[in-house]
Chain A
Amino acid sequence: MIAFIKKQLTQAGKFSRFIGRFFRELFVPPFQFNEFIRQCYTIGYKSLPLVGITGFIMGLVLTIQSRPTMTKFGAESWLPGMVSLSLIREIAPVITALICAGKIASGIGAELGSMKVTSQLNAMEVSAINPYKYLVVTRVLASTLMVPLLVILADLVGIYGGYIGYNVHSSIGLLRYFSEVIENLDFLDIIPATIKTFFFGFFIGVIGCYKGFNASGGTASVGRAANSAVVTASLSIFVVDMLAVQITDLFY
């Protein structure tokens, strides 16, 4: 039992040290700028269709699902405001982060894990390239910066999906719909939701890298690393979300 706890604590310590090393390496040149751009492209741009489709469907479905209840209360006109609020505050960040966890964290975990088990990391070190700097810092930074952008676009597409969903049964102009949405929004809805997406992106990248970096043994561990990266990243997203919402609640 004690051994188990000790093992868990060791894991936590190693993970914390991994994060600490990221911040140390972040501000020390040389910077792998081209690799960073490439990772941004892979993480951000390549995830866009997936995130867009998810966001659109979430907005559409949320509107259609909320309509009967709102109609029951005679508050059908509040539908745009309510849908956009729930999208921006909670649903778009979390859904996008989960999608990214599935796509990015697993990709990073598998990539770095396979490099680890095929000793490519060691080869890098031999050729005087800091593998941590080249692989981890660029990926974590890229996911930290790209996930918020993806969330913003998911918000937009999701709200547009809400517009389509609203027009299934009643009719509203696009401009009227968006002005209704803006009327119901506040900085307190936008800012905390955006800030927390940085943490989502950061944890997705860090956990993917950590799991890949610490893969050990045969090729089976690559799969295990990828799997573990997705599971842990998804879980961490919910934990971070809970913390972020509670902290936001203090200010509101």
Chain B
Amino acid sequence: MKKRKDNTWKLGLFVIVSLAVFLATVYFIGKSQNLFGATFHLQSTFKNVNGLKIGNNVLLSGISIGSIKKIDFVSDSTVVVNMVIRSSVQKYIKTDAFVTIGSDGLMGDKVLMISPGTNSREIVKDYGMIASNEAVSIENLMGGLKKSINNAEIITKELSEFSYKINNGKGVLSKVLTDEEFSKSIGRTLKNLETGTDEFVVFTKKMNDKNGTLSKLMTDPAYAYSIKKTLSAFEKSAADINVFTAKLNNEKGIVSKLLTDDKMANSLDSTLINLKTGTKKLNEIGEAAKHNFLLRGYFKKQEKAKAKKEKELQKTIKK
């Protein structure tokens, strides 16, 4: 009898431990599905839930805070998703938060992600509605991808045409790429440029030389002072010139009259004409003097000397 009692507590231990393990498992599973503890509900409507199932996780900032409780149709194109969330996180979800359907890993289950809004400070209520963003489905992705593939096709086609033109055309670019002569001339140009720059380097070196004029000009204060002096003197003379020209322009002066007065010009003109007729008459007087007997001898002497000179000239040429 004593031995049996001894066995009975072992049996009791066995039964209790087994049941405890079972209950603990059930409790933990339930806890992970939010069956125990305080919870609240949120709702959101979708056009397409992309295979979201009851029991899928709800994430807030990547932390699992609840699960999907119910998915129902409300109209032919709208589905309302009811989720159960731990009450402890309610204060972190504001009314302008929104939900998106994502997937857990590449092939994993769908998850509902709650993203925080920006402005609202008001906490969501139990059975409150929050906005939803439609998930990026594979179909959408494929559509976008197709567009970019088409664009890429066009681009590559044009690129191939372009490169064909480069290879076979007669444009500058093709010449640059294919013509040997052209490249040689470019080479020469570059060489010239190089020597040019070399000389320029030498020149700048010289320029930078401390004893050079240019460098002195640029750096020596004494030089600068003298230049300044020269310039001021120059300025002064320019001012004088200015005064002079002003006087010139003054109508009362002769020069100004010469330049501007019509009468003066006319009188000058008539004076010149008179001078012309005067000289003509003087010529006539000279001609008359040639034929005059008193002066004929002088003119003949002059003619003879002329002829003699010519004869000597011819002689020297013959020699």
Contacts and interface: CB of A to CB of B under 8 A. Distances in A.
Interface in A129-173: 148-150, 152-153, 155-156
Interface in B20-52: 21-22, 25-26, 28-30, 32-33
B66 to A, nearest CB: 14
Contacts of A37: 8, 11
Contact of A153 (B4, B8, B21, B29): B21
A185 B7 contact: no
Q: How large is the interface on B (under 10, 10 to 19, 20 to 34, 35 or more residues)?
A: 20 to 34
Nearest to B29: A185
B8 A41 contact: yes
Given A41-B10, A45-B7, A149 B25 contact: no
A148 B14 CA distance: 12
A239 interface: no
B22 A44 contact: no
A164 to B, nearest CB: 18
Contact of A182 (B7, B19, B32): B32
B8 A44 contact: no
A41 B29 contact: no
Contacts, number: 55
A194 interface: yes
Nearest to B30: A187
B192 interface: no
Q: B7, B19, B33: which has the most chain A beta carbons within 10 Å?
A: B7
Contact of B14 (A38, A48, A155, A190): A48
Given A37-B8, A190-B25, A149 B15 contact: yes
Interface string A21-33: 0000000000000
Main secondary structure of the interface of B (DSSP, over half): helix
A40 interface: yes
Contacts of B30: 187
Nearest to A191: B26
B4 A156 contact: no
B14 A44 contact: yes
Nearest to B20: A152
Given A182-B29, A187-B26, A44 B21 contact: no
A183 interface: yes
Given A182-B28, A190-B26, A190-B29, A45 B11 contact: yes
A174 to B, nearest CB: 14
A185 B17 CA distance: 20
* Most A-side CB within 10 Å, residue of B10, B29, B32, B33: B29
A196 B198 CA distance: 97
B116 interface: no
Contacts of B26: 187, 190
A198 B82 CA distance: 36
Contacts of A34: 4
B32 A183 contact: yes
A186 interface: yes
Contacts of B17: 153
B213 interface: no
Contact of B10 (A45, A182, A186): A45
Contacts of A185: 25, 29, 32
A152 B22 contact: yes
B4 A187 contact: no
A149 B11 contact: no
Contacts of A45: 7, 10-11, 14
A87 to B, nearest CB: 12
Interface string A193-224: 01000000000000000000000000000000
Interface string A43-79: 0110010000000000000000000000000000000
B1 to A, nearest CB: 10
A153 to B, nearest CB: 5
A38 B3 CA distance: 11
Nearest to A142: B11
A44 B29 contact: no
B256 interface: no
7 contacts: A37-B11, A38-B7, A40-B11, A45-B14, A182-B29, A190-B26, A194-B22
Interface of A: 34, 37-38, 40-41, 44-45, 48, 148-150, 152-153, 155-156, 182-183, 185-187, 190, 194
Interface of B: 4, 7-8, 10-11, 14-15, 17-19, 21-22, 25-26, 28-30, 32-33, 55
> Which 5 pairs between the two chains have the least Cβ-Cβ distance?
A149-B18, A41-B11, A182-B28, A41-B7, A152-B22
